[in-house]
Chains A and B, each alone.
Chain A
């Protein structure tokens, strides 16, 4: 408990409090009057309204589109399933700059949709909503699908034998069992879309703005810290409320489930209904996820002299002709992997200890801590980054120019994933096993190693996968703290896109493709590593 508390205190609560305090406290004391002043501004009210409703709409749409997929991934066996599961997770790590490009190519003028149906969505809110589905599809598929695969289908069959209709059996048996996972997934999607930044910035154009975009603008561009502080507090309050609702639903529904090996619940699709469902899901994945990714890949090969590897070859010697600080792309890949590994290690240690502490103890305080661990997901990277600047500035903690700041910032986002993944599994471990081990003379450490560890190994690997992916794609905080000589892949892509010229654009596409590959391969490896046991909320 002490380690995660210290970690969050030092690298989250303190920096964020400091930057908010800088905004709200003047020589005359605290300026709480700023709240009313800022919140009564009509432009801010617009931002609040848009942030909220688009998050609701995005969450609903994501659930609508991804839930059937969760079922298909959970119950059906089909060739290429593992690969597909890795592919749908790729968007999660892509820098939004890149995704925005891909989406415009599909939804904008002259895009696929325009040519086929004469419909353009690039300036509408639909582009934002669809991009949010694209990003968060995996959250639902993995969270809900993971649990669904382990629900014993015989329970539903039993209900039907007892006379319940197909729908009634599903509603009374499966749905309640799935509810916590659905609630958890919805919460994550809501959190991500409520604090959406890049997607809204690029696809929304200047007309739409979320709280997160506004905090960025007020902090990084205008240095209007009081307004930024007020908005950060509002975002805090909103996320706190969401987390409270979530905690309540989980507590109400947390029941012991009889989980089975997912291998036993899957089968090849039977009958036309199941085949249609599978076909529909595959089509959705193809249109919504594979197509935008495909556009990027296509562009990375589309050199002026026809399709070829020209841009990839250019990546190899980009460092030679350019300057010292132009990114040598292969180095950027290596940097990214190193940072992501370090961040994953931190996230696993901190998140694992936090999850263990949360399982052992109960009470209001611990539940509060549980919620606190989720907060970094909803707090703007610029707030954290600027907070680091003004707090970690004195020896021995002058970390502002050291490499460790990057994995630390990335781990902040990774920890909630680790906790959420491990917690349900740890809670499901039967305490009597530990007691039995203790009675037989095992030390607490030994008991943990022999009892808990084998059971949570899979959850640990899934958690590691998510933490790694999140760290690999993290851009917001990294861009402020990365040292020039150690840029990460997303930073390198952004720098290439920031310059005119054929070669720069092509290289950006090639590098994005590599980022996708690195991510997909890491996820596939993790999928292979994990023994099939219980899964967590992701």
Chain B
């Protein structure tokens, strides 16, 4: 639509009110013949997701050609906000499939009943430890580890070994080195808190955080500030003169530093402390009340297909969940394999998340 048309349309809407408005809405769908609501058998399938969703254009095109569906993607906010919008619009969803609910929010999604069970074709290929919902209301799509990253140059220069485990972080040689995110508003922040719960249990984590606090942990609001401002190992952090060589980020952050290096370095400037990780698993599900259920099923199948699974790592910097998907060289060369991530059951998280976050805030922030 041209700008002038748009403005004319808008002026009309404003001048004539509601009647014109609906007419204009109709005009919009006429422009794009694949409007989901008005076609008898819809050829458009809509994926609702969070801001981080990404896919290579050719991969998506291939799916569209094979299935005959046109894919429309709606992204709205971070993972928590996107899911909550789905819960609010339960029964009258904006799309057919929702992608991006993770294990920390899974119970909220399931308890609110926003998904229709569907067993994806290709589910057999998915590693069984990721299939957390036996009724298949959700299908696992990717996994990623939230871990402490370290600035290799800093530790090389100081001739100290970088920390490896959660326990290490409380040792005197790592005093005043770690920056983490607010567990109340940031998903890596919450993940790190959950790593400590997984490791030290529901009774022991507070004690651990008291030690971390005594050892000078710094808390900032979001990943952007922690990683791009405070962390000395990242590109942004170097410019911002960040002086914290330890940050809570992702196990995939070092490969990303390589990929977006200018020029690409031979070795990642940052490393991962593999004993500090919490595993996040992201799921997709067919939305209850979907206008295009058939298309939605095809889309879920596509998300666990080899093609999409192998595309994900370099688009969203997460790991595939299927057995047959190969990792790109960037990941095998510069990434790490986290053998034993910490875990907490989704139901336990759902039951306690609020009180943990409150206790954490009182203990660490105030």
Contacts and interface: CB of A to CB of B under 8 A. Distances in A.
B184 A110 contact: no
Given A349-B15, A401-B94, A500-B227, A393 B89 contact: yes
B257 interface: yes
Interface in A484-514: 484-485, 494-495, 497-506
A305 B263 CA distance: 9
A80 interface: no
B315 A323 contact: yes
Given A101-B240, A395-B37, A325 B18 contact: no
B40 interface: no
Interface in A407-459: 407
Interface stretch (A130-138, A175-183, A340-348): A340-348
Given A101-B240, A221-B185, A350 B14 contact: yes
Interface string B329-342: 00000000000000
A499 B95 CA distance: 26
Nearest to A324: B57
A483 B44 CA distance: 15
Given A3-B14, A101-B229, A398-B37, A345 B7 contact: yes
Contacts of A393: 89, 92
Given A217-B185, A349-B15, A110 B77 contact: no
Given A6-B18, A485-B73, A404 B55 contact: no
Interface in B166-181: none
A498 B52 contact: yes
A104 B242 CA distance: 10
Interface in B193-230: 219-225, 227-229
Given A220-B80, A220-B81, A483-B74, A497 B224 contact: yes
B11 interface: yes
A100 to B, nearest CB: 7
Nearest to A219: B84
Contacts of B56: 323-324
A223 to B, nearest CB: 5
B309 interface: no
A207 interface: yes
Contacts of B256: 499-501
Given A206-B220, A499-B260, A104 B92 contact: no
A396 B25 CA distance: 8
A398 B92 CA distance: 10
Contact of B10 (A201, A325, A407): A407
A401 B291 CA distance: 14
A325 B75 contact: yes
Contacts of A323: 54-57, 315
Given A3-B17, A325-B53, A223 B84 contact: yes
B220 A404 contact: no
Interface in B84-117: 84-85, 87-89, 92, 94-95, 108
B193 to A, nearest CB: 12
A148 B362 CA distance: 49
Interface string A86-130: 000000000001001100110011110000000000000000000
B50 to A, nearest CB: 10
B355 to A, nearest CB: 12
A303 B228 CA distance: 15
Interface stretch (B231-239, B278-286, B318-326, B343-351): B231-239
B157 interface: no
A234 interface: no
Contacts, number: 229
Nearest to A310: B262
A68 to B, nearest CB: 32
Interface in A290-349: 299, 302-305, 310, 314, 322-326, 337-338, 341-342, 345-346, 349
Given A299-B239, A349-B15, A484-B75, A500 B54 contact: no
Q: Which of A223, A299, A495 gathers most chain B CB within 10 Å?
A: A223
A341 B3 contact: yes
Q: Which of A2, A310, A390 gathers most chain B CB within 10 Å?
A: A390
B165 interface: no
A104 B240 contact: yes
A393 B354 CA distance: 31
A169 to B, nearest CB: 47
A97 B224 contact: yes
A322 B52 CA distance: 13
A485 B315 CA distance: 16
Given A398-B25, A404-B24, A479-B77, A501 B89 contact: no
B17 A480 contact: no
A502 B10 CA distance: 40
A110 B230 CA distance: 11
A277 to B, nearest CB: 35
B262 A304 contact: yes
A202 B75 contact: no
A457 B31 CA distance: 35
A526 interface: no
Contacts of A299: 239
A223 B112 CA distance: 12
A279 interface: no
Contacts of B52: 498
Nearest to B225: A202
B67 interface: no
Contacts of A222: 354
Interface string B13-51: 111011001101110100000000100000000100101
A75 interface: no
Contact of B81 (A97, A109, A221, A500): A221
Contacts of A201: 185, 221-222
A344 B356 CA distance: 45
A104 B224 CA distance: 12
A345 B10 contact: yes
B98 to A, nearest CB: 14
A479 B51 contact: yes
A390 to B, nearest CB: 6
Given A206-B220, A404-B21, 5 more contacts: A201-B185, A217-B184, A345-B10, A398-B37, A401-B72
6 contacts: A303-B262, A342-B6, A483-B75, A484-B49, A502-B261, A506-B235
The 7 closest A-B pairs by CB, nearest first: A501-B260, A396-B22, A110-B241, A502-B235, A220-B81, A206-B182, A503-B260
Interface of B: 1, 3, 6-7, 9-11, 13-15, 17-18, 21-22, 24-26, 28, 37, 46, 49, 51-57, 60, 72-78, 80-81, 84-85, 87-89, 92, 94-95, 108, 182, 184-185, 219-225, 227-229, 234-236, 239-241, 243, 249-250, 253, 256-257, 259-263, 315, 317, 354, 361, 365-366
